[in-house]
Structure 1
Amino acid sequence: MSEESNLQPAAEPTSDASKSSRRNFIKTGSSLLIAGGAMSGSLSMARAAHVFGSDVIKIGLVGCGGRGTGAATQAMNTEGPTKLVAMGDAFGDRLQSCLRGVTSRHADKVDVPQERQFVGFDAYKKVLEQDIDLVILATPPGFRPLHFESAVNAGKHIFMEKPVATDAPGIRRVLAANEIAKEKNLAVAVGLQRHHEPRYVETIKRLHDGAIGDIVFARAYWNSNGVWMNTRDAKQTELEYQMRNWYYFNWLCGDHIVEQHIHNLDVINWLMQGYPTMAEGMGGREVRVGKDSGQIFDHHMIEFTYGEGTKMMSCCRHIPKTWSSVSEHAHGTKGYCDISGAKIFKPNGEVAWEFGNGGGNGHQEEHHDLFAQLRRGEIPNEAEYGAMSTMTAIFGRMATYSGRNLSWDEAFNSQDTLADFDKITSMDTEAPVQPNAEGKPTRVDGSPYPTPIPGKTVKV
């Protein structure tokens, strides 16, 4: 992919409208997307909600990696009868590993004979054709818009992992499909599990009730040593190599600001009850060097602006032997809050309130909540805030990759598409990102792949 595009520098906001809360978009924007034809494919309408009660909820799984294995297991940990009946993945070895993992925990709830084990890029279609009530979507996130739209079309309840896309067109596709999901009474849960942790819920409620006064500044961090890497096998096609190292390629992952830091950004959006209007930042590659370093940065620092001017500092970093923190913080006119620590402080530093121990385990709680709601006949829908928090992370990536001051509207309306997932049909398909000739590095960081250069890169 070229590093060039027609994305233009953002104009400075000059009116109150340009500073309005992103909540206004939620009320009106999704319907406009459908009217504008943002969603490809036709979706049938009219489906009544079903109260499952004590009935068996049949589950299909698309994406059999570590998160898919965890999500399927957590779904079957919920109260009431469940059964995993179909599985699909691009790789057969991953599917078998996942099947062994979930069977070891829930042998009596797994019924996936060979004829309902599907391998390949069309595996998601075959899973959706089965007699299932709910599908778990846990592939690399670049595939999420396509798979989500297809699941809505098939009339299935959905649990999809975050993030829900890797580019702005993907976000718009998810939002448009979700409008149909709501009309069809389909439940949609998104793996931003902090919304289901009592310690977070109670802390945010207290902040909304004015526990520290007006919010004047916020901070969010995901700083750690980094993540896994798989070595290249000479027998692999370029596409297979990238698929097995999806975290390092933007068309699949969106960079770690999107795949990981989204959790922290989502908490600040929840706190602010809206989305940022402006972003500017910096980032780069200090330790991600060499032929196996892919494309993504190893650090991002962004200043986001919300509403009438409240600032949020966002920092995420994958560099060993540096300060590690996965946390969110809010500063107000009457005190300070360590949101992740569920603790509120007075201006003098004394503890005013703390949740105490427990109240976490969100990965499990989100499934307890979803399945309990379905059994009561309730239809939760988390797709909008899932999509808009994903877009916040993409917005930040666009700012760090370009090094420019961007507006939300400019980012959200970007036409830059990282990959056409509808056309990826086999491991012999040409990968959306190609290395330089013979894989030889031509960049200072040693990567053979196109990597961003702030101040020069425009395609983000």
Structure 2
Amino acid sequence: MNSPSLSRRQLLAGTAVTAAVAGFPNLLLGQGANNAKLKIGLIGCGGRGSGAATQALSADPNVVLWAMGDAFPEAIKSSLDGMKGFEGRMDVPAERQFSGLDAYQKVLESGVDVVLLAAPPGFRPQHLRAAIEAGKHVFSEKPMAVDVAGVKSVMESTKLAKQKGVAIQHGFCWRFAPGVRELYGKITSGELGRIYSVYGTYMGSPPKPLQPGMKKDAGMADVEWQLRWWNNFEWTSGGPLLEQAIHTVDKVAWAMGDVAPIAAVGNGGRAYRTDAGNVYDHYNIAFEYPGGVICHLGERQYLGCHTEVVDRIYCEKGTAVAPSTPMVLGLDGKKREWVYRAPAGMEQNMYQVCHNEFFASLRKGEIINTGEYMANSTMLGLIAREAAHTGQRVTWEQMWNSTQDLAPDTLKMGDAFPVAPVPVPGIHKFA
């Protein structure tokens, strides 16, 4: 996916590229440095961040958790309490536990070599930019941004990372699942012939209880309240299509060879949710691709309903089905022509495979940089969301020409920040 002209996010301007390139990373591996101790910094200490830290520690025996940062101190304590079995490698004293919205800066200044970015995705562009400018290798969770301005910032940070020789590893975890990799290899290699269409689903339950716990306490500022319930607000999470169903969006991109779509149309809304947030709870999207291929996405976060996360790629020589028990069905839609069989002794946990490969590459002195790919898959999620929110057909070119920016990067915990209205198709305008 080749994006049109890029521009910096207005409030993320930092060191000029020419000056930043002069500061090479403090971690230069390969060439005899295979036993160097790697200091890890975790930014965002929720469940996924804690999982990423555990996987990083499991990936390499000479990795130590050195610093942690989160908006809220209780999240750090909970994360530390939940990580077991790494005695002697959890070197995070109180002076390297940082809380507040500036915690990411303090983690970067603490002497870490690698950072794990797992804060709410509204902060991802800002954190990524700071990490790259500081010369740190990065594992970044998905998605990369919640708005177009953020995606453009990520693209620039990716360019800077290439110039500085620092790594960016992605968190689109299904691309590391061995069985799913093997199946998608059959698709992208042309073994299954032409792709006719794709239907991917991500139908699950809301990630948090919605009521009655979302009521804002008297005296609590808007920003703090919204951060404590970050899944429920567009500017912090991007909504369920970006924060959760982005995995299915990414697999649509994967099946289509990561080429740019032409446009998207869609619908969605809030039927189950009655909370004080502003995100939708369901989407149905159609992506238009070159060659007349239409790829469909169905997303829903309801309780008490049918749930599934299934990819169905309809090809000339059969139907590929994933991620559970990856297989190829014959043209009759029933006979299993191929089923994935895990090789004995091969790591199957996709999260662990991701970190195993990341740290192995660093040890070899190889630099992974998946930032551009991550940005494009994030933009694919954004075009889907905006097609549904506006009720319009939105083109890929329109997305890259957009100035959409959902929140300033200068917000403080105690600031007032009213909740934006829930988008109404036909009325909501895309910037």
TM-score (norm 2): 0.91
* SS class of match (1:455): coil
Alignment of 1:63 onto 2:49 = no
1:356 deviates by: 3.0
1:36 deviates by: 11
Question: What are the equivalent positions in structure 2 for 1:223-302 lying under 5 Å apart?
Answer: 223-229=203-209, 230-232=213-215, 233-273=217-257, 274-289=259-274, 292-302=275-285
CA distance in 2, matches of 1:407, 1:217: 19
Q: Which residue of 1 aligns with 2:309?
A: 326
CA distance in 2, matches of 1:37, 1:128: 22
Matched to 1:305, the amino acid is E
Whether contact under 8 Å (1:38, 1:172) holds in the other structure is no
After superposition, the C-alpha distances for 1:108-144 in whole angstroms (9 at most, x for unaligned) are: 1111111111111111111111111101111100000
Matched to 2:277, the amino acid is G
After superposition, the C-alpha distances for 1:347-405 in whole angstroms (9 at most, x for unaligned) are: 12321111035864211111111011111111111111111111111110000001111
Aligned residues: 413
CA distance in 1, matches of 2:93, 2:8: 42
Cα distance change, pair 279–38 in 1 and its aligned pair in 2 (3 A): farther
Unaligned runs of 5+ in 2: none
Alignment of 1:183 onto 2:168 = no
Matched to 1:84, the amino acid is L
Unaligned runs of 5+ in 1: 1-21, 436-448
Q: Which residue of 2 aligns with 1:385?
A: 373
Q: Which residue of 2 aligns with 1:89?
A: 70
Question: What are the equivalent positions in structure 2 for 1:421-432 lying under 5 Å apart?
Answer: 421=409, 423-425=410-412, 427-431=413-417
Question: What are the equivalent positions in structure 2 for 1:427-442 lying under 5 Å apart?
Answer: 427-431=413-417, 434-435=418-419
Q: Which runs of 4+ in 1 moved over 6 A?
A: 34-39
Question: What are the equivalent positions in structure 2 for 1:90-169 lying under 5 Å apart?
Answer: 90-102=71-83, 104-169=84-149
Question: What are the equivalent positions in structure 2 for 1:284-433 lying under 5 Å apart?
Answer: 284-289=269-274, 292-340=275-323, 341-348=325-332, 349-356=334-341, 360-421=348-409, 423-425=410-412, 427-431=413-417
* SS class of match (1:325): coil
RMSD (CA atoms): 1.9
* SS class of match (1:77): helix
Matched to 1:342, the amino acid is P
1:73 deviates by: 1.0
Alignment of 1:452 onto 2:400 = no
Whether contact under 8 Å (1:402, 1:456) holds in the other structure is yes
CA distance in 2, matches of 1:40, 1:247: 27
Percent identity (aligned) = 35
Alignment of 1:204 onto 2:184 = yes
Whether contact under 8 Å (1:118, 1:126) holds in the other structure is yes
After superposition, the C-alpha distances for 1:84-110 in whole angstroms (9 at most, x for unaligned) are: 1111111111111112223x3323111
After superposition, the C-alpha distances for 1:404-445 in whole angstroms (9 at most, x for unaligned) are: 111011022211210011x123x21222xx15xxxxxxxxxx
After superposition, the C-alpha distances for 1:257-315 in whole angstroms (9 at most, x for unaligned) are: 000111111112111111321100110111111xx341011110011011222100111
